[in-house]
Amino acid sequence: MTYVRNCWYVAAWDSELAQGQPMAMQIVGERIVLWRGDDAAIHALEDRCVHRLAPLSLGRCEGANLRCMYHGLLFGPDGGVLEIPGQDKVPPQAKVRAYPVAVRHSWVWVWMGDPAQADEALIPPAVGYDDGRFILGHGHLDYAAEARLICDNLLDFSHLTYVHAASFQAGPTFAERLPEITPLDRGVRFSRWSQNVPNIRDPNSAERFDNYMTYDFLLPGVLLMESASFTAGTAASLDFGPPDFDTAIAGRNFTSQAVTPLTEGTARYFFNWGPHRDHGDEAMRDGMMQLAAMAFGEDKVMIEAQSRVIAGSPGQAIMPIAHDRGVTLFNRLVERLVREEGRAGT
């Protein structure tokens, strides 16, 4: 799998990890067990007991520690064995790999690379459901397709016109006009003004808006998007530059999404979405989540079908088009970092 390892990957929503209940997860092909100890801290270890390789995710939490429930070895959060029933000595090799964990923006992030390089400053600045400015619903969707195909999808919104004709009713603009694209150190920024558009929230209104949307797609596969409606004429008055979202007059909303590679051919897609507190309420959030469920279902049908065709076409080249610029920029960034990690031996 061509994925950067020195990155924070989303392993779960914070709320998915109940105290005392270990959870199995796979990230870039590695089996991991996560648990929340009685110290409330979340820990992550290789999900494979050092004794006879049973999954520690079938284990029992004891304080901050985790006991393998096959023959009872007790592991500390650092992966070291603390106890072996029936013997006094714990050999020095009695240890499994421990992964750095951080909880930010309502997500549990796991660092899959060299632990010495785990830098929390590299966690993408997502907006979680713990952020009081927005009213966000959240969920996840499992894919029978590799993560890269989902990232490619999120890096090219021209598909909105076709894949999401039924759900988002995006119209021809997304396909006909290219977004503004800016390369970032750890990703790509996309932004787009749509001028003088009718008020879709009130079809009887003659009011027109300039709509702005912008998103960053960041390593390893995190999309952070904000959009809103502004007074008609705002785009031209800003020379099509970015607006101050605090001057939005309607429809301000945020979505954070993360694509986590599980195995070679499977991925988990985490998402939240909802209105800014000044522009919506819980009912609007619920409506948006229903729309998201429909739209993300549309993506899943297309991407899983694409994945099956790719699996049956080994070595078949693709043919990039103008809308692939963001996809290409991001994939080149991934390839460069993977090469550098290979050279550094991480």
Binding site for Fe ion (CB under 5 A): 299
Question: Closest approach of Cβ 296 to Fe ion, in Å?
Answer: 7
**193 and 210 Cβ atoms separated by less than 8 Å:** yes
Contacting residue, 71, 177, 308, 339, with ligand FES by CB under 6 A? 71
Question: Closest approach of Cβ 36 to ligand FES, in Å?
Answer: 21
The binder of 95, among ligand FES, Fe ion, none, by C-beta within 5 to 8 A per type, is none
Euclidean distance between CA atoms 286 and 277, whole angstroms: 14
The binder of 299, among Fe ion, ligand FES, none, by C-beta within 5 to 8 A per type, is Fe ion
Q: Which of residues 220-239 bind ligand FES (CB under 6 A)?
A: none
73 vs 145, which CB is nearer to ligand FES? Answer: 73
* Residue (of 176, 224, 214) closest to 323 by Cα position: 176
Question: Closest approach of Cβ 267 to Fe ion, in Å?
Answer: 14
Residue type, 337: L
Question: Closest approach of Cβ 55 to ligand FES, in Å?
Answer: 9
* Residue (of 263, 259, 265) closest to 334 by Cα position: 259
52 sits near ligand FES (criterion: CB under 6 A): yes
Question: Closest approach of Cβ 57 to ligand FES, in Å?
Answer: 12
72 sits near ligand FES (criterion: CB under 6 A): yes
Residue-by-residue DSSP string for 169-209: ---THHHHSPPEEEEETTEEEEEEEEEEEE-TT-TT---EE
Contacting residue, 13, 54, 62, 197, with ligand FES by CB under 6 A? 54
Dihedral sign from CA coordinates of 8, 192, 175, 173: positive
Taking CA atoms, 82 is separated from 39, 76, 91, 140, 338, in Å, by 18, 6, 10, 35, 36
